[in-house]
Structure 1
Amino acid sequence: MKKIVFIVEKTGTGYSAYAVDDKFPVGTAAANMTELRQNILDAMNTWRELKGLPDVSEKDVMIRLDLAQFFEYYKVINSSALAERIGISQSLLSQYANRIKIPSEKQVNRILSSIKDLGKELTHLELI
């Protein structure tokens, strides 16, 4: 199954999300990302149940954030250290994170790839 993509936007009270594909007229909101993920699944599965379709799971859904929202929500990730790890200017990454500049698709993929690589490293880490 092709992943169902949801665009996430920051609101005054938390986050909202809507399906990119018009064939899925589904949207929801929540106070935080954890709750939003669950609300996306609940909303999507309610719609699918009405259509007589099987449920989807978290692996069937992709959440898409822009860089500014990513750094706002995941404040624990230091953008300066990440820029150094990626090999781009700290100033440039900061401009992307603050919406001063818009990164190209190639640059977004480069940043995302580095973030995912970091996540893989962390899943294999044990602390003593």
Structure 2
Amino acid sequence: MIITKIWFEENRIYGLTDDGRTLWQSLLYYKRLMYATNEERNKYIMSDEGIHWEELDEDVSFESFEYDDPEPVGISKFFLSHPEINASAIARRLGIQQSLIAAYISGNKKPSKEREDLIMNEIRKLGEELMNVEW
């Protein structure tokens, strides 16, 4: 599959394939593209395997348009939407390997319901601690 045309709408990158399908994926996976100007987004090079933005140092493979989850969900969506929350620090608070949290965020691994609840509860606990900060 080859992408023949790309465009951006509502924090998504869309691609028209050589067989006529329209595929998309969330720009949450590509922060540099999300925050790029239209001018920066339009300066790309197509190759046999994907799309490259030299100025942004960003690459999107054609293959990635066919991944099962074009939009992050659960803790992946939370951490990608809130980069101000340090995922490594949350992992340390829970005694979970930082690389495992990173795999959950990237979508390479899926946490069990129990593990996801544990992580989200720790984030809520952090939120409560921040709400109680006094000067």
TM-score scaled by structure 1? Answer: 0.49
For the pair shown, the structure with the greater C-alpha radius of gyration is: 2
Higher strand share: 2
Higher helix share: 1
* Higher RCO, Cα 8 Å, sep 6+: 1
